[in-house]
Amino acid sequence: MRRHRERIPDSGVSPHEPAEEARLLERIRQGDAEAFDTICRREAPRLYRFALRLTGDVETAEELAQETLVKTLPKLGGFEGRSRLSTYLAGALSNLWKNRLRSKARSKVVDIARPDDATDPLERFSDAAPDPERALDATDRAGAIREAVGRLEPERRLALLLCEVEGMSYEAIAETTGVPIGTVRSRIARARGELRRLLAELWP
Amino acid sequence: MNERDDILLSAWLDGELAPAERKALEERLEREPELLARLEQFRELSAALDDDPALPAGFLERTGARFRAEHPPARKSRARWGWAGLAAAAILLAAIVLPREGEIRELTAPAVAQSENELSEQVAADPVPDDVQAEPELQPIEEKLLSKTREQDAGVGREERLDATKQKKEAEAVPPPAAPTAAAPRKRAPGAAKSADADRAMALERQNFRSLADAAPAAVEGTPLPGGDALAAERSWLIEDAVRLQELSGATTDVAHELLAPTGRVLLVRGTILECRGQWRSGTVVPTLVLAGGPTTRSCAFPVPPGDAAIEVVVEGARDE
């Protein structure tokens, strides 16, 4: 029997000293651009990958990752390092993304498919409605995966990607998304089941 | 295949099953090929998601440029002093300002009184260890200031000091900030030459002071203080003490203003610093100074504009007057 995978995937980010990270963050808080560049080089690749998986769109992914880095890092002077900085940034990006979805949902006038029992705008709206242009991308496996992930219900997609891309534990995901750990468990499982079905359709 | 199985397989893949659940599932996987096939499907999905797209060309440069545009380097301001300055200032506050050991002098505008009470309810009485009651050793300049404080404490010269404060207020060419506490003029060190740089620094300081005052308008815009004239006089006296601190160093000036400006409240403490620590709260760091001074515990926070640090001074074992 093959064992389950490791919890923290290799991010390609070299380990760094918490004290050094704290010093860099404090410098960023004071407007030190070089310190910002240093942290950016470490954190941007993973954050962008997460954003790209979440949105399925390179421009939106760059916007979200950039906004997260520019707005969040200057507020982290004195970061205690109890959680990884990458985890914190992923949480910040998730909130930014959800806010955008909610804003988009509120401004949406036309009817879209909504579960009757959903009350949260995020639950009622997915940015993954079939998009003819994006569907054209599903002509290769990578495009099919991107398309399939984009069609997942947003909360399930977020939970799955925080687990798969960010390597976060269920407990950390529960804390980040503000739902019980059992909900995280079922969301990830349902996302996987749904993703499997979608991929079978898009890339048989 | 049911949803319950999917949840178990998914959690197994992520290493999130309890030992008993994992053992039971692995036994089923040995004898149920369909379950194993489903697990392999999930595992393939994980592999498919595990690609590593490169950053778009120029991403780091664009992000860095945006940071530089939105976050110019901070000038040195009162809200950005370092820990060393904060600790030094706290020592000065603790060692110089209060004339009597174990005493808190505090004046609170109505708008901040409620939050102060809330904070007070959160802390409990705590006897002060014997080893923290000792008189702090004073440096020469501190001794000089303390001797003035002792004179005031004995009632000598207080009226004169208040008169002098009033006269200086009237003589100030630049109108004082909106905060009542800002009405106290800044004293210059004896013999200090008034230079253009000093004027600019003073103007900048006043500007900063106004911005701090703007952050808590309800507390500082001339709100009548409880306690009547006696308390108002006491308040002026306390302001004088804080202003004298400004003569000592930049860091001390900063802290004296921080303590005075945002809420219109003055808290002067005397005691021994037990601890200096920082806490992460709501996107900012709150430095906390813990001092020992008497039989009760008090704390108060000084809010400052968003993006700046807040100060919290916790006086453990201090006694209300």
Q: Tens digits of per-residue pLDDT, A66-94?
A: 999 999 898 886 666 556 788 889 988 99
List the 39-58 stretch of A: residues with Cβ below 8 A of B. 40-41, 44-45, 48-49, 52-53, 58
Give A57's pLDDT tier (boundaries 50, 70, 90).
confident
Q: What are phi and psi of B299, to 5 degrees?
A: -150, 155
Write down the pLDDT at residue B262.
Answer: 36
* Cβ contacts of A64 on chain B, cutoff 8 Å: none
Convert the pLDDT of each residue in B294-317 to its tens digit. Answer: 333 333 333 333 333 333 443 333
Of B10, B59, B80, the CB nearest to A188: B10
Q: Do B3 and A193 touch (CB under 8 A)?
A: yes
What's the average model confidence in pLDDT over A117-145?
Answer: 50
Min Cα separation A108/chain B (Å): 30
pTM of the predicted protein model: 0.48
Are B60 and A41 inside 8 Å of each other by CB?
Answer: yes
B166, B176, B177, B218 from B203: Cα distances, Å: 20, 11, 11, 24
Contact A104, A70 (CB under 8 A): no
Task: Determine, for residues A30 and B48 on separate chains, whether the beta-carbon distance falls below 8 Å.
Answer: no
| Span A26-48, average pLDDT | 91
Which pair of structure tokens corresponds to residue B119?
A: 């904070």
Give the three-state DSSP class for A197. Answer: helix
CB spacing of B46 vs A164 below 8 angstroms: yes
Per-residue pLDDT band at A147 (split at 50, 70, 90): confident
Q: Hey, is B69 helix, strand or coil?
A: helix
Give the pLDDT score at A34. Answer: 93
Pairing of strands B284-292, B311-316: parallel
Is A36's CB within 8 Å of B64's CB? Answer: yes
Residue A47 scores a pLDDT above 90: yes
Instruction: Compute the half-sphere exposure of residue B307: CA atoms within 13 Å on the CB side of its CA.
Output: 13
Task: Please give the average per-residue pLDDT across B220-240, as a whole number.
Answer: 35
- Residue pair A112/A163 in contact by the 8 Å Cβ criterion: no
Give the residue from B27, B67, B76 with the most A CB atoms within 10 Å of its CB, the best one to mutate: B67
Residue where the block lists tokens 């909900």: A183
Chain B from 80 to 119: CB within 8 A of any A CB: 80
**Contact (Cβ atoms closer than 8 angstroms) between residue B198 and residue B247:** no
Cβ of B50 under 8 Å from any chain A Cβ? yes
pLDDT surpasses 70 at A179: yes
Is the pLDDT score of B141 beyond 60?
Answer: no
- Rounded to a whole number of angstroms, the distance from the CA of A16 to the nearest CA of chain B is 20
